Structure 1
Amino acid sequence: MTYSRRRFLARCGGMLSTLPLLSITPQFKQTSEVITVGGSISSSKMGFSLIHEHVLVDFVGAAEISKERWNKGKVVRKVLPYLQEIKALGCHTLVECTPAYLGRDVDILAELSNKSGLHIITNTGYYGARQNKFLPAHAFTETSKQLAKRWVSEFEQGIDGTAFRPGFIKTSVDPGPLSDIHKKLISAAALTHKATGMSIASHTGPAEAAFEQLEVLQKLGVAPAAFIWVHAQNEKDNNLHVKAAQMGAWVSLDGVSKDNINEYLKILILFKSNKLLNHVLLSHDAGWYRPEEVEGGSFRPYTDIFIHLIPLLKEHKFTESDIEQVMIINPKDAFAIKKRLV
């Protein structure tokens, strides 16, 4: 079905969604699909998308993490109302960025997707930031090819013995020059992309590591268009955001809250003036259920883009097309399963 611009803008003003749930098709096509926990869908059906959010995160570390640390039913009951809230505001897709060994639980995501009516996309890959606390032991001993083989296997066969498949690669590096193991992670991500067409979302922050990763990718034959610079808002030199976008990378500004929307407005105005809105992604990095806290602890809703940022953009002459570009068109292009090679 065609997505109505008028209906989209009405939703951003808080009106309840009246669209029926989008159907999920079982077929998988290399260049026009995204992969959700409900199966493959046409990228055109992603609709309004939040591209960096979390349902559950467990910071205990790779050596101790276990799904026994949380009760799936309690997680679903806690998180579901927050997903239903954004569904009512017009959201169709949520990209869940919690990687393996940090709390990824595809059974929970599948149940939440089914009950909320949202498309939810999960990931493969490993998280190297925070001084490698969340890397499994084999990540230190295996080669990039061996790690890539694991991630490709999840794409082809499913995650943790399930039929649920990842829709993108999530990795992570510390700020500053890349360590050897972080070079290995991004190399493994490059090999996985070349085998599968999944995009690479790398928790990065400041620009130095972002451009180093782009260099590694290009040496391995992967184009910047396959790379999502996660937490780019942590780089304060906005000219470097422009540089990465001009190279073809996705610049992900994924920490939106009601307290910082003027900072995001400034960056988005810069992108618009440089005709680069087609390379920016927006999200909250919100949530999430914390297994170590009573009842999962506090949970930050996924609503500030709808309630605070979009109205501010409209006040500053961002058009319907501008908002659709960032929140609808860019996500479907960034997460489409497509090999992006040099």
Structure 2
Amino acid sequence: MRTLTLVFLVIIILSGSCREKPVETVIMTVRGPVPAAELGQTLSHEHVLVDWAGAGETGYHRWNRDSVTDVVLPWLQEISELGVTGFADCSPAYLGRDPLLLKELSLRSGIHIITNTGYYGAVNNRFIPPHAYRETAGELASRWIDEFENGIDNTDIRPGFIKIGVKEDTLLSELHRKLVRAAAITHRRTGLVIKSHTGGDMPAFDQLNLLKEEGVSPGAFIWTHAQSGTMPKIVEAARMGAWISLDAVNISAAEGPHGNHDLYISMLSELKKEGLLHRVLISHDAGWYDAGEPGGGGFRGYSDIHRFLIPGLMEEGFTAGDIEQLMVANPARAYEIMKRLAD
């Protein structure tokens, strides 16, 4: 009962705080631009659909939008009832991105869904299209910029961030350096934030250094899966101005009684102590309707943060303002369209 009471308290607090942020900039959603002040409580790293077939085989023919909607919509309605109004879908091109599906889900759930442009180089480049090997960073950027300016795949749906991926535990390969440079060029033209599947310390700082060479500020970079890094380097990156994405919250579906609840409480408490909560994003990296599995396979919902993590944080002394910072203010600032250039 105490946990349930805390959940409802958080919903009330956050619902009120959403109205207080002044309208200054916009977020690009699948339904068009939305004032940053209206994005509201946001899950900043989730997935609706994924297709593991690889760049050479994937395509819209691999799934049925109505079938995906039947599975995913109830999970979105669940978090809508918990107060979530923003949702960043992080499945990139050649890995299950479907802007028309996302728009339908957005219309039916009422949630502002953000899609992306860019290419995902992790998993041994399985999801990199052939042209990316031969084209220059500038040529790749031209493709991504075109999606922002003219829409994705002959639709009027535009991306709200750049999604790239690199190998998680080493320095960047030449191909991945090209992806980062292409992302930098795209950011300088569009103001879209760069969200990179990164993982550990080494590729994170390699990317930050390369972005600096390209004239892009750390504030334009989201270190995705930063929970795989070390706390000293996470703190260093946050102090530089990078966004720290702690995005694998898994409590109800994990093995063991509490999943990774204690890990996230510990990391967030440390970042609060360092005065860096204003650089942190939290999410589940959940969902994952699998196009290659009957009925989409096992689907993990998006509610653990509200049902477990936020009440746990409040029991550890986090304030309503801290929760508003993590769930409302930070996602709006991270995803607002704004050119963030190096000094």
Q: Which TM-score bucket, shorter chain as reference?
A: over 0.9
The secondary structure found in structure 1 opposite 2:338 is coil
Partner in structure 2 of residue 213 of structure 1: 207
1:140 corresponds in structure 2 to: 133
The CA deviation at 1:54 is 0.2
Equivalent residues of 1:226, 1:249 under 8 A apart: yes
Q: Distance in 2 between matches of 1:144 and 1:12?
A: 48
> What is the correspondence of 1:3-42 to structure 2 with a 5 Å cutoff?
11=8, 32-42=25-35
- Aligned position for 1:204: 198
SS of residue matched to 2:195 = strand
1:335 aligns with 2:335: yes
Q: State the AA in 1 paired with 2:261.
A: I
Verify the 8 A CA contact 2:197 2:223 in the aligned structure 1: yes
- Partner of 1:324 in structure 2? 324
Give the alignment of 1:222-241 within 5 angstroms. Answer: 222-235=216-229, 237-241=230-234
Select 1:182's aligned residue among 176, 194, 204. Answer: 176
User: What secondary structure is seen at the aligned counterpart in 2 of 1:41?
Assistant: strand
1:67 aligns with 2:69: no
Counterpart code for 1:178: L
- Cα distance in 1, alignment partners of residues 153 and 273 from structure 2: 45
Name the structure 1 match of 2:242: 249
What is the aligned length?
Answer: 324
Deviation (angstroms), 1:11: 3.6
The Cα of 1:130 is off from its aligned counterpart by 0.7
- In structure 1, stretches of 5+ residues that fail to align are 1-7, 23-28
Shift of 1:75: 0.4
Say yes or no: does 1:95 pair with 2:72.
no
**Structure 1 SS opposite 2:107:** helix
Is structure 2 residue 139 aligned with structure 1 residue 154? no
> Where do 1:244-323 residues align within 5 Å?
244-258=237-251, 259-323=259-323
Q: TM-score, normalised by structure 2?
A: 0.92
CA contact (8 A) 2:217 2:340 kept: yes
Secondary structure at the counterpart of residue 265 of structure 1: helix
User: In structure 2, how many angstroms separate the alpha carbons of the residues matched to 1:247 and 1:13?
Assistant: 30
Unaligned runs of 5+ in 2: 252-258
Moved over 6 A (4+): none
For 1:271 and 1:155, how far apart are their aligned partners in 2? Answer: 34
Cα distance change of structure 1 residues 14 and 47 upon mapping to structure 2, 3 Å threshold:
closer
Quote the offset at 1:66 in angstroms: 1.4
Note the C-alpha offset of 1:163.
0.1
Q: Deviations over 1:257-305 (max 9, x none)?
A: 1110110111111111110000010000000211111111110000000
- Once the two structures are TM-superposed, the CA of residue 12 in structure 1 deviates from its matched residue by 5.8
Deviations 1:222-281 (A, max 9, x none): 00000000000112x211110000000000000001110110111111111110000010
> Residues 214, 36 of structure 1: CA spacing in aligned structure 2 closer, same or farther, 3 A cutoff?
same
For 1:75-94, what aligned pairs fall within 5 Å after superposition?
A: 75-94=68-87
RMSD: 1.8
Q: Deviations over 1:287-327 (max 9, x none)?
A: 02111111111100000000010000000000000010011
Instruction: Output the CA distance in 2 between the equivalents of 1:111 and 1:302.
Output: 18
What amino acid is aligned across from residue 62 of structure 1 in structure 2?
A: A
SS of equivalent to 1:55: strand
The one-letter code sitting in structure 1 at the alignment partner of 2:143 is: R
Aligned partners of 2:137 and 2:179 also within 8 Å: yes
Say which SS state the counterpart of residue 61 (structure 1) adopts.
coil
Match of 2:119 in 1: 126
Counterpart CA distance in 1 for 2:177 and 2:141 is: 13
TM-score (norm. length: structure 1)? 0.92
Secondary structure at 2:54 match in 1: coil
For residues 294 and 177 of structure 2, the distance between their equivalents in structure 1, rounded to whole angstroms, comes to 38
The match for 2:188 is 194
Q: Distance in 2 between matches of 1:37 and 1:99?
A: 14
* Percentage of matched positions with identical amino acids: 51
